[in-house]
Amino acid sequence: MEGECPLMGRACSTDGTSQLGDRIPQTRFPVWIRPECARACTPTCRTGERAELRATGASVPCAGLWRRPGHTPDSGLAGAPSGKRGIFPNGHSGTFYLYMADKRVFRIVLASPSDVQAERDVVDKVINLINQFLRAFDPPAILELWRWETDAHPGLHVKGPQGLIDEGLRIEDSDLVIGVFGRRFGTPVSDANSGTEHEVRHAMEAWKATGKPQVMLYFREIQEGSLSPEESEQYQRIQAFKKELSSTDNPLVWRYKDLVHFEASLQTHIWQELMGRMQKSRHADYPLSLLRYSANANETCIRKEGSTELVGDIFLTCTYDGETPAAYPLLFTVFLSVSAPISQRPIPRGGNPPTPYSRSDVVLLEVSKQSGKKYFGEITGTDEVIFRHVQLGKMLPHESRQFQISNLRCATYTPKVFAYVSVTGALVEEGMHCVATVQRGCDFDVRGADGSKMFDDRGFVARQSANLVDQRIATIRFTEGFTGAFKSRAGESCAFGAIVDAGDGNVQVCGLADRGTGLQVQFHHIPRGIRVFVSIGDLGHRKRARLSDSGPSLVPDAGRTINQIEVRELLVEGGRSGVLWEVIEPLGYGETSLDVAVFASFSDDASTNPPAPGYCQVSGGLGPLFLGMMGGVLEYPVPRFHAVFGRFCTILTVLP
């Protein structure tokens, strides 16, 4: 080396005085680095990403360090982190390579007629979502969406407007072309029956010549009886085009029912194509870590209304491929990205004054050992969790360790929830998994007093001039949207709990829910003078739900029995009230719903309780709906839900 640092291309002193920020090529190349000068050498690649190297155990954010091929594996790197983050072992004096990688760009071209603008917006949404995951890839990657409205410009062309669009889209240089058809085929161009057909055929010809771009075609399922005469003619052209393709190129096309189906299918298909291309593009001499990782996950069904839904657990396996035991304890960091907002409960740190929240109760646990250590994740954004410095110790040759990520809670706004796991130093095999499908959790309706039939538009009808004494006026029914949607407190909790120090002598039980699923009803426009009572539990024999008395909407000590049903009176303010039942036991086999009773009472004596003409409406669903305050401190109840209430139903009408 003779005192010269090849990374900087000039002499480099060992006291850390080298100039920082020099640029290096965006290519893979070997560099001989001495640990004593690595402290000062901080190259910057042309994309502006830093490749920071330190000799004292610091991370390597955008470059990888690994052993020289053939070098004796004598370090805790186990042959090396080769990803965008890694660990440089303390005092190690071996020879390493430095790798600076380009950000990989995948060009996607969208081709469609003008009637599927909603689908075009979905394509943009899906690509933006996937790009959130690709930031964590090694090296990072990005999807670029090209379409005529953003990448073409006004002007003249010998081939007409389509010629300008072709020059803007450059289909032959793309990696993927997505074609979407709905009711219309499009406007004819010089060499095809529509611009979309021209672009699809152009892509197929390029694929036959060069193997790219891949072409994915989507056709919306249309009921022909719903088409106008002009749309019917256009739709027939679509069918003829699809039939012609089947007889010539025979592509696999995809049919979708609606936008939800299209979004879920497109997201899955792009991921499959992307992962296949990335695996094929890996160069044979890419230096790999001796630590090999793979992931899988459980997929569960969660509630559309949920803000704190437990998604499926993620399992990470780490295998040491070295032929000799690791000389140093090994460690790595896990990055988890999710396609839905993460809604974890924070864990406060102790101290005086307490430090800000930096941990959450999502947990990574080593399950391959009985005494496996727990690691709590740090929420670094709305959709990312980091587990830092997961300890592996001195692994033996071909030893494997298993880790489980549990108690991950998300708010649900999309048909599916995906998770992508990455680690420092290596690519995770099958790192992308679906961890949840989303369905509506509860249907709400109001029935007559005996529960046998639905109300008419007026509900129970009472006269202002007649007394109403402890009259059962309605039955409210909560129906499970899918099996297991109504959960007890145990069902809402995570199986892997842990007691942690929350500071100031307090403890927090991570993973433990505050209550079972809440079944909530809101009463609106209660006529003045009406007293309303509700049953304290469901009407079933097992009493699987009970009234929650934690809220302010119940009259204190107003319990009584009406027709052998225990009830509580609601506290009415401004014509409004609300009540919540907590599920204490899940529904049994064959059960699909829970019923609760509503009673009303008033007197026609104008001197005591004059009733007012009017009507009362109710709405209902899962609850509670929002964060709560306790002693001026924001609380994070689990579970909680966002308002996806069913329709408003009139439950009582008081006539003059």
The pLDDT of 320-335, averaged and rounded, is: 84
Is it the case that residue 300 has pLDDT exceeding 70?
yes
For residues 583 and 517, give the distance between their C-alpha atoms in angstroms, rounded to a whole number.
5
pLDDT at 385: 87
Helix, strand, coil distribution of the chain in percent, nearest 5: 15, 35, 45
Q: Which pLDDT does position 130 carry in this prediction?
A: 81
Q: How confident is the model at residue 138 (pLDDT cuts 50, 70, 90)?
A: low
Burial degree of 499 (CB within 10 A; 0-12, 13-18, 19+): exposed
Residue with tokens 């052998």: 564
**Chain mean pLDDT for the chain:** 76
β-bridge mates for residue 254, sequence order: 218
Confidence band of 159 (pLDDT split at 50, 70, 90): confident
**pLDDT for residue 252:** 79
Residue 309: predicted pLDDT: 94
SS (H, E, C) 190-221: CCECCHHHHHHHHHHHHHHHHCCCEEEEEEEC
Please tell me the distance from the alpha carbon of residue 372 to that of residue 364, in angstroms, as a whole number.
10
Question: What 3-state DSSP class applies to 19?
Answer: coil
Longest dimension (CA), the chain: 107
pLDDT at 203: 92
Please give the Cα distance from 127 to 178 (Å, whole number): 12
Cβ distance 177 to 203 under 8 Å?
yes
Section 202-226 average pLDDT = 89
pLDDT of residue 502: 60
CB atoms within 10 A of CB 78: 26
The Cα–Cα gap between 54 and 545 comes to 59
Cα–Cα distance measured from residue 540 to residue 270, given in angstroms and rounded to the nearest whole number:
48
Give the single-character DSSP code of 306.
Answer: B
Residues in the chain: 656
- How many CB atoms lie under 10 A from the CB of residue 26? 13
pLDDT bucket at 262, cuts 50 / 70 / 90: confident
Distance CA 656, CA 647 (A): 27
Q: Which two tokens stand for residue 415?
A: 């048909």
**Is the model's pLDDT at 40 over the cut of 70?**
no
Within this chain, domains 104-280 and 289-438 share the same CATH topology: no
When mean pLDDT is compared across 368-382, 385-399, 570-584, the lowest value belongs to 368-382
Predicted confidence (pLDDT) at residue 312 exceeds the cutoff of 90: yes
Closest CA relative to residue 176, chosen from 111, 268, 101: 111
The answer, yes or no, to whether residue 119 has pLDDT greater than 60, is: yes
What is the mean predicted confidence (pLDDT) over 381-398? 85
| pLDDT tens digits along 498-544 | 676 666 666 677 888 989 999 999 999 998 888 999 999 999 988 99
Name the CATH superfamily, with its identifier, for domain 104-280. Toll/interleukin-1 receptor homology (TIR) domain (3.40.50.10140)
Q: Is pLDDT above 60 for 437?
A: yes
Between 157 and 61, whose confidence is greater? Answer: 157
Single-letter code of the amino acid located at 253: V
pLDDT mean over 552-563: 82
The mean pLDDT of 87-94, rounded to a whole number, is: 32
For 612, the token pair is: 């007012």
With bands split at pLDDT 50, 70 and 90, how would you rate the model's confidence at 100?
very low
Check whether 72 has a pLDDT greater than 50. Answer: no
* Those residues with Cβ within 8 angstroms of residue 320's Cβ, 6 or more apart along the chain or in another chain: 78, 290, 291, 292, 326, 330, 392, 395, 396, 397, 398, 399, 400
Find the mean pLDDT for residues 435-457.
86
Point out which residues pair with 5 in neighbouring strands.
10
Give the mean pLDDT of 362-381: 83
Q: Is the pLDDT of residue 85 over 80?
A: no
Taking the C-alpha atoms of residue 94 and residue 69, their distance in angstroms, rounded to an integer, is: 12
- Judged against a pLDDT cut of 90, whether residue 132 lies above it is answered with no
| pLDDT score of 356 more than 80 | no
| pLDDT above 80: residue 555 | yes
Asked if the model's pLDDT at residue 373 lies above 60, the reply is yes
Return all residues near 645 (Cβ < 8 A) that are at least 6 apart: 444, 522, 619, 620, 621
Q: What pLDDT is attached to residue 276?
A: 72
Reported as a pLDDT band with limits 50, 70 and 90, residue 120 is very high
pLDDT at residue number 306: 92
Q: How confident is the model at residue 463 (pLDDT cuts 50, 70, 90)?
A: confident
Q: Give residue 129's pLDDT.
A: 80
Q: Domain spans of the chain? A: 1-102, 104-280, 289-438, 442-655
Q: How far apart are the first and last CA of the chain?
A: 101
Say which residue, 50 or 617, is predicted with more confidence: 617
Of residues 56 and 418, the one with the higher pLDDT is 418
Which segments within 497-609 are labelled E, that is strand?
Answer: 498-503, 506-510, 518-524, 531-535, 545-547, 554-562, 565-570, 577-583, 593-602
Residue with tokens 């399922």, as numbered in its chain: 221
Give the per-residue pLDDT at 509.
Answer: 77
Instruction: Just give the CATH number of 289-438.
Output: 2.60.40
Average pLDDT over residues 464-477: 88
| 9: number of Cβ within 10 Å | 10
Pairing of strands 531-535, 593-602: antiparallel
For 472-502, what is each residue's pLDDT tens digit?
999 999 999 999 999 999 999 987 766 766 6
Name residue 330's beta-bridge partners. 393
Give the Cα separation of 406 and 361 in Å (integer): 9
Q: Average pLDDT in the 138-148 region? A: 79
Is the pLDDT score of 194 beyond 50? yes
CA distance 583 to 259: 34
The reported pLDDT for the residue numbered 56 is: 27
Count Cα neighbours of 118 within 13 Å in the Cβ-side half-sphere.
9
User: Which of 58-72, 318-332, 508-522, 620-634 has the lowest average pLDDT?
Assistant: 58-72
Helix (H) or strand (E) holding 107: strand 104-111
CA distance 114 to 215: 19
Higher pLDDT, 305 or 382: 305
pLDDT-wise least confident of 338-352, 412-426, 505-519, 545-559? 338-352
CA distances from 590 to 586, 587, 643 (A): 12, 8, 28
| Banded pLDDT at 458 (limits 50, 70, 90) | confident
Which pair of structure tokens corresponds to residue 402?
A: 């298993």
d(CA 245, CA 248): 5
Look at 138-142, 439-443, 564-568 and tell me which has the smallest mean pLDDT.
Answer: 138-142
**Residue range 636-655, pLDDT digits in tens:** 788 988 876 667 888 988 88
Q: How confident is the model at residue 70 (pLDDT cuts 50, 70, 90)?
A: very low
